Homo-oligomer: A and B are copies of this chain.
Amino acid sequence: MIQLNYRDGRPIYEQVRDGLRQLLVVGAIQPGDKLPSVRSLAAQLAINPNTIQRAYETLEQEGYVYSVPGKGSFAARREEIDGTRRQELLSRLDELAEELMYLGVTPEEIARRCARAAEKKQSKGKEGAAHD
């Protein structure tokens, strides 16, 4: 499910964290779903459980998952996700847009990319819409 790439410089735990977050974003993991256990995911990816553990911890700090001691980790509902993350992403968006325009990309092109991402998201979102 999650593809690790040892060649890009990013730490493994970040790749695991981003991979899990991506599964949430595209709807492959629905709110309330139980995430794979640390051990099973570690075995599946053939990496150290400590690395998985760290990925879960940071994901929990972002608010995407919550853990129930003794039961496991679960995907949070969107409403429960801390607004901090959204604010951070928005300010990153601003920086990104400014730099892209400096590099000659027009605002129209940027909007077009976002719109395309929106379509992609909507089509995938349909599957899990009932769970909301």
- Chain A interface residues toward B at CB < 8 A: 6-9, 11-12, 21-22, 24-26, 61, 66-71, 74, 76, 78, 80-81, 85-86, 89-90, 92-105, 107, 110-111, 113-118, 120-121
Contacts and interface: CB of A to CB of B under 8 A. Distances in A.
A23 to B, nearest CB: 11
B102 A107 contact: no
Stoichiometry (number of copies):
4
A49 to B, nearest CB: 15
Given A92-B96, A96-B89, A117 B105 contact: no
A25 B99 contact: yes
B103 A110 contact: no
A26 B98 contact: yes
Given A12-B69, A96-B96, A107-B118, 13 more contacts: A6-B74, A9-B69, A11-B69, A12-B68, A25-B99, A26-B98, A78-B104, A81-B103, A86-B100, A93-B93, A93-B100, A97-B113, A111-B115
